[in-house]
Amino acid sequence: MKPLIAIVGRPNVGKSTLFNRLIGKRLAVISEVAGTTRDRIYQDIDINGFDAHIVDTGGLEYGKHESIEGDMKAQAEIAITEADLIYFVIDSGENLTVDDYAAADLLRRSKKEVLLIANKFDSAEARDKIMEFYELGFGEPIPVSAIHKTGVDDLWEITEKTLKKLKFKKTPKSKRKPKDDTIRISFLGKPNVGKSSLVNALLGEERVIVSDIPGTTRDSTNTNIEYNDTKFSLIDTAGLRRRGKIEKGIEKFSSLRCFQALDESDIALLIVDFSENISKQDMHVAEFILDAKKGAIIIVNKIDLADDDAHKQRYIKHVQKKFSFMPWAPLILTSATEEKNIEKIFELAQEIYKVRQLRIPTGELNSFVKKITFKHTPSGTKNIRPKILYVTQSNINPPEFIFFVNQENAFHFSYKRYLENELRKEYGFVGTVIDLQLRGRPPKEMKE
């Protein structure tokens, strides 16, 4: 799993400014008002070759229960429990407060790795207070000015050394796929849909070889198994709730482990409960999978509760209607308790994993596109006639295609959908997102 770095500290010490500076874009909302809600709380980052998750938390205030994140003790305990490394941010332009000392006490007792960051270190007053910060018990503070981008390189260097000490390894993006071709499957869904029961049912088959992976996290567990000479890693996760619930409550930190599991997987199982109608939470989980561009299988669990075949067919239509935005995702009806249809998960996962690695030769791809555009020519306006100049597959896992066109906005959105559907028909991209991009200018070597 990627290391998880949490940024903690009392309100208005510049946590969100530091967060935005480190990820290189304005993602967290910055405000002088304590407890400002952020649109998102986490982001993937690259720290000198280390892939990591970084989390921006709400302010830690002693005895405050009205803030979005709850009181300081609950907030800090969640952060230190879930994080592998903690950035403890203080305002170097101000004297230390009771909140700073209280948070420091909790962090010291956690025995987690903590880097003390003296933010807003851009004044003579800050330099005069540097010795005071040693009282917090985390050694030499790292002077940073997030707003002026000073000290960030030093923070990266110290973070890199700390991650090495914690036994994390650099993982270049080009080598994220496991070397042994293990297919990683994450089990996602809202709470109590039977994720763990399904994992246990899969592991109970006589034909699988089971070995536990050491060092698993509290909220997600990884298990290596082998099925029909193919290696799988099953990642069981805690239940994912809808975005608002995740961002407003203490569940956001445990939910991060779900996002980590999704990020590390090749294929995600979207598990729903046959005894319940598809909810907004279920659809939000589907959105997470789509955003991550993973392979997907919809699992309808607890099918043993069906009255008859007609009952099953009605529910299938209900699922297909609700998830009409991902019609390419196959659907399996399972019963974890009765171990019905569970082997199909392995078989479909193998098929999806294979098509996600498919690379189509450029010449063949362009010939195919000429054929389908001749069959259905893109319509345009009086002034612009849309035309595809060239197409290439830019990546795999997931399959990515770039269509170089004369003018991108000349194409109706439905034509992009037509291109995707034809690609799926021709090459069988079952169960996976296809990233299809229209670009208004071809590469120089392709210009006529």
**pLDDT value at residue 334:** 95
**pLDDT value at residue 446:** 44
**Which stretches of the chain score pLDDT less than 70?**
25-42, 58-80, 171-180, 205-222, 238-257, 380-382, 441-448
**pLDDT value at residue 217:** 32
362-446 and 177-356 share a CATH fold: no
Q: In what order do the strands lie in the sheet with 400-405?
A: 388-395, 400-405, 435-439
Contact 84, 215 (CB under 8 A): no
**pLDDT value at residue 83:** 85
Q: What is the DSSP string of 349-385?
A: HHHHHHHHT----HHHHHHHHHHHHHHSPPP--SS--
**pLDDT value at residue 351:** 95
Q: Please state, in angstroms and rounded to a whole number, the distance separating the CA atoms of residues 372 and 367.
A: 9
Phi and psi of 50, rounded to 5°?
Answer: -95, 120
**pLDDT value at residue 60:** 61
Q: Please state, in angstroms and rounded to a whole number, the distance separating the CA atoms of residues 266 and 62.
A: 42
Q: State the pairing for strand pair 267-273/42-47.
A: unpaired
Q: Please state, in angstroms and rounded to a whole number, the distance separating the CA atoms of residues 70 and 73.
A: 8
146: CB partners within 8 A, 6+ apart: 14, 17, 18, 20, 21, 119, 120, 152
CATH code, residues 4-165? 3.40.50.300
**pLDDT value at residue 125:** 72
Can you name the residues that pair with 352 across neighbouring β-strands?
A: none
CATH code, residues 362-446? 3.30.300.20
Phi and psi of 139, rounded to 5°?
Answer: 75, -150
Give kind and range of the element (H or E) at residue 221: strand 220-227
Burial code (b: 16+ CB inside 10 Å, e: under 16) for 108-133 equals eebebbbbbbbbbbbeeebeebeeeb
Specify the CATH architecture of the domain 177-356. Answer: 3-Layer(aba) Sandwich (3.40)
List Cα–Cα distances, 324 to 76, 286, 348, 386, 442, in angstroms. Answer: 41, 11, 20, 28, 33
Domain boundaries, the chain: 4-165, 177-356, 362-446
Q: Please state, in angstroms and rounded to a whole number, the distance separating the CA atoms of residues 393 and 358.
A: 10
